[in-house]
Amino acid sequence: MNQERRLSTRARVQSLGLMLAGALVPLAIAPGNAAAQDGVEPVNFRRPITLIAGGLDSRTSDEPENTDVIMLARVDVPNQTVRAVSIPRDLFLEIPGYGFDKITRAYDFGSKADGGSFKAGASLMRDTIAGNFGIEMDGVVLTTFDGFMQIVDALGGVDVDNPYDVYDAEYPTRDYGYKEIYYPAGWNHLSGEQALEFARTRHQDGDGGRVMRQQLVLRALLDRARDPEIAPTLPDIMVENLSAVRTDLGPSKRLALALAAPSFSNDSVVFSSLDGMVYPDSTSSGMWIYSGDWSQIPGYVDGFLSGAF
């Protein structure tokens, strides 16, 4: 029996996140803050599954819990591929039961309406994607700023090849202040806090630059997780960091993904965005938003996730 088979079910489930970090969640950890129980039979994925992967801005319980990072990711286990589309957090669309607002608000509306329930927030995110994009979701995987930093630090940091100097004189801090940050072009080794800054800043180059940096960090996380020095320690790392993720995936799906995880690599991960289909705009009340060309967006997202282009 090889080492993978000897790992506990709990550890295998958590190892998935780092093996598929490049697409499952922009804050890069796996499906499963509640580990599957021993004896659970994994499902047989005969078709790809589609996930909402996101990062929550969670600060205090009385403040909105907005989804600052949103990706739609399709994981094709039989073919060992992941395709993910980044969705701007300020995209203006209809949130079922709440009218038109930014997509970032969907989770918070659903969660707060049910006493802070994760499942209620995840359910409204699913309904929002289905209603606007016409795509049914198989699961939701979310983490927080703290969860992201926790995972990056647990891996000893990440190395990213930054394509150009990044400077922000007013990067927003957790206490609602500002700080100056700078990341030079070329290779940078980033701690959890630095990786969060690198992935969040957008003052210099807007949402397009931010999405690009998020994808760089995710690929770096996947590379780090597959490093021969790190890979053997993944089960322990994941068990120690269970609290970093929230998901509504059932234990059988989490287990199946975990068992498939070693077959995925960065070469099998493809990213896209809605560039060219969204544009800066404002509502009648003056709220800054991204409006979208809804004659193109649903078809593009479905086609990309399906591998048509």
* Confidence check: pLDDT of 9 > 60: no
The answer to whether the Cα torsion of 221, 223, 226, 231 is positive or negative is: negative
- Rg of the chain on CA atoms, in Å: 18
| Structural domain 3-158+226-303, CATH architecture | 3-Layer(aba) Sandwich (3.40)
d(CA 108, CA 89): 13
Write out the two tokens for 197: 């800054």
What residue type is 263 in one-letter code? S
pLDDT in tens, 186-238: 999 999 999 999 998 999 998 889 889 988 998 888 788 778 887 777 667 76
Most confident stretch, 1-5, 85-89, 131-135:
131-135
Contact 97, 83 (CB under 8 A): no
pLDDT in tens, 29-81: 343 333 434 566 767 788 899 999 988 887 666 788 999 889 999 999 888 88
pLDDT in tens, 151-198: 889 889 999 999 999 999 999 888 889 999 999 999 999 999 999 999
- Residue 87's SS3 state is coil
Q: Which residues contact 111 (CB under 8 A, 6 or more apart)?
A: 65, 117, 118, 120, 121, 124
pLDDT score of 142: 87
Contact 196, 55 (CB under 8 A): no
- Residue 20 — φ and ψ, nearest 5°? -115, 20
Question: Domains of the chain: which residue ranges?
Answer: 3-158+226-303
d(CA 292, CA 90): 10
Average pLDDT of the chain, as a whole number: 82
Overall pTM > 0.85: no
What residue type is 194 in one-letter code? Q
H-helix segments, the chain: 3-6, 9-19, 21-24, 106-112, 118-133, 145-154, 192-200, 206-225, 234-240, 251-260, 297-306
